[in-house]
């Protein structure tokens, strides 16, 4: 299933994406949003709506983040692709995952503008596979980790590299820099998250292109590691790291500017597209 969160003139809702449009679920199921749906373990109730005539066209909606108001956590992983580690001189493959947190006000939906703040010009893109937890757990063994995944989506870990040099938290948490979407694809449609193709384009120019099989720690290993030190809840999001090809590794760095458009595609999921604008005053 593809599950989209959105707004219209009637307010926020969610539904199933079909080839013909959107089957709205917000008015048919007793869950306020996708986060509540996942927490209730109600994906089967949503699946029961499949086959109905669509209520809306995709062109009629404004996209919300694929998990609106995500659970309790948006966690991201740094330096988790071998080629990405290699493209920066002097770096070694980390012995343990580099985990950092994203604040809720950084996360936006498909089509929403990325904000370039006035106090930085070193704005970078990072295309990533994102994992959405469906089954809560603590100290989850890697062998059982994929059973805790509800769905997958795409994340752009927009980064202000000059701030990141002195604070990863600061560089990764400017408002409106973390698109998540365009929708969720349930885990049953992606049996092997390590066999997907990820591609990032800026203004149509390909900047990143790789297999998720280049991850240093795969999805199951990341879930196992993270759940060692924090409980995972339904609706939590794990962004699994970016591959090589980011702007800061290029000479000269092609930093994002107002007017640019970033497209991130992952096979089996779709394309997340966001324009870049100057942060509104």
Q: Which of 85-94, 103-112, 166-175 has the lowest mean pLDDT?
A: 85-94
Kindly indicate the confidence band of residue 209, based on its pLDDT and cuts at 50, 70 and 90: very high
The pLDDT of 101-120, averaged and rounded, is: 96
244 in the same domain as 134: yes
Q: For residues 174-203, b (16+ Cβ closer than 10 Å) or e, as one string?
A: bebbbbbbbbbbbbeebeebeebebbbbbe
**pLDDT more than 70, % of the chain:** 99
**pLDDT more than 90, % of the chain:** 92
**Separation in Å, CA 110 to CA 251, 253, 257:** 29, 25, 18
Q: 63: burial class by Cβ within 10 Å (0-12, 13-18, 19+)?
A: buried
Question: Is residue 176 left, alpha or beta, with left meaning phi > 0 and alpha meaning psi from -120 to 50?
Answer: left
* pLDDT reading at 89 higher than 90: no
Q: What is the pLDDT of residues 23-67, one digit of tens each?
A: 999 999 999 999 999 999 999 999 999 999 999 999 999 999 999
268 in the same domain as 186: yes
Domain that holds residue 52: 2-63
| C-alpha of 205 from chain center | 21
CATH number of the domain enclosing 179: 3.90.850.10
H/E stretch holding 277 reads strand 270-278
Kindly indicate the confidence band of residue 86, based on its pLDDT and cuts at 50, 70 and 90: confident
Of 258, 161, 243, 162, the C-alpha closest to 206 is 243
84 in the same domain as 12: no
Kindly indicate the confidence band of residue 70, based on its pLDDT and cuts at 50, 70 and 90: low
Residue 24's CB is within 10 A of a number of other CB atoms, namely: 22
Q: Which of 91-95, 190-194, 200-204 has the lowest mean pLDDT?
A: 91-95
Is the whole model's pTM more than 0.85, yes or no?
yes
223 in the same domain as 137: yes
Q: Are 200 and 84 in contact (CB under 8 A)?
A: no
Cα distance between residue 146 and residue 270, in whole Å: 21
Cα distance between residue 88 and residue 85, in whole Å: 6
Give the three-class secondary structure for 144.
helix
46 in the same domain as 149: no
Say if 107 falls within a structural domain. yes
- Using the 3D structure, point to which of 63, 88, 113 is the last residue of a domain: 63
The pLDDT of 184-199, averaged and rounded, is: 98
Give the three-class secondary structure for 74.
strand
Q: 56: burial class by Cβ within 10 Å (0-12, 13-18, 19+)?
A: middle
Cα distance between residue 109 and residue 95, in whole Å: 33
Kindly indicate the confidence band of residue 103, based on its pLDDT and cuts at 50, 70 and 90: very high
* pLDDT reading at 71 higher than 70: no
Count of domains forming the chain: 2
265 in the same domain as 126: yes
Q: What is the pLDDT of residues 143-169, one digit of tens each?
A: 999 999 999 999 999 999 999 999 999
59 in the same domain as 129: no
Q: Which of 70-79, 167-176, 191-200, 242-251 has the lowest mean pLDDT?
A: 70-79
273 in the same domain as 165: yes
H/E stretch holding 101 reads strand 98-101
* pLDDT reading at 273 higher than 70: yes
């Amino acid at each position: 299933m593809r599950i989209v969160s959105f707004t219209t003139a009637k307010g926020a809702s969610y539904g199933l994406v079909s080839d013909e449009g959107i089957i709205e679920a917000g008015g048919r199921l007793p869950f306020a949003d996708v986060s509540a749906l996942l927490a209730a373990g109600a994906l089967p109730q949503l699946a029961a709506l499949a086959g109905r005539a669509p209520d809306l066209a995709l062109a009629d909606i404004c996209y919300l983040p694929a998990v609106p108001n995500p659970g309790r956590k948006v966690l991201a992983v740094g330096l988790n692709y071998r080629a990405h580690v290699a493209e920066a001189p002097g770096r070694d493959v980390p012995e343990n995952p580099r985990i950092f947190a994203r604040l809720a006000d950084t996360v936006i939906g498909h089509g929403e503008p990325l904000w370039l703040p006035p106090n930085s010009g070193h704005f970078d893109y990072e295309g990533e596979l994102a994992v959405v937890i469906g089954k809560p757990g603590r100290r989850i063994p890697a062998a059982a980790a994929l059973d805790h995944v509800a769905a997958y989506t795409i994340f752009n870990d927009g980064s202000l590299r000059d701030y990141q040099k002195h604070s990863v938290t600061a560089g990764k948490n400017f408002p409106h820099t973390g698109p998540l979407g365009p929708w969720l694809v349930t885990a049953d449609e992606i049996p092997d998250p390590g066999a997907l193709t990820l591609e990032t384009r800026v203004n149509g120019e390909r900047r990143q292109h790789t297999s998720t099989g280049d991850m240093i720690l795969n999805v199951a290993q990341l879930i196992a590691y993270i759940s060692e030190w924090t409980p995972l809840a339904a609706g939590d999001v794990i962004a699994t790291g970016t591959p090589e090809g980011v702007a800061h590794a290029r000479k000269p760095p092609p930093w994002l500017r107002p007017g640019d458009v970033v497209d991130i595609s992952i096979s089996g999921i779709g394309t997340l597209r966001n324009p870049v604008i100057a942060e509104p005053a």
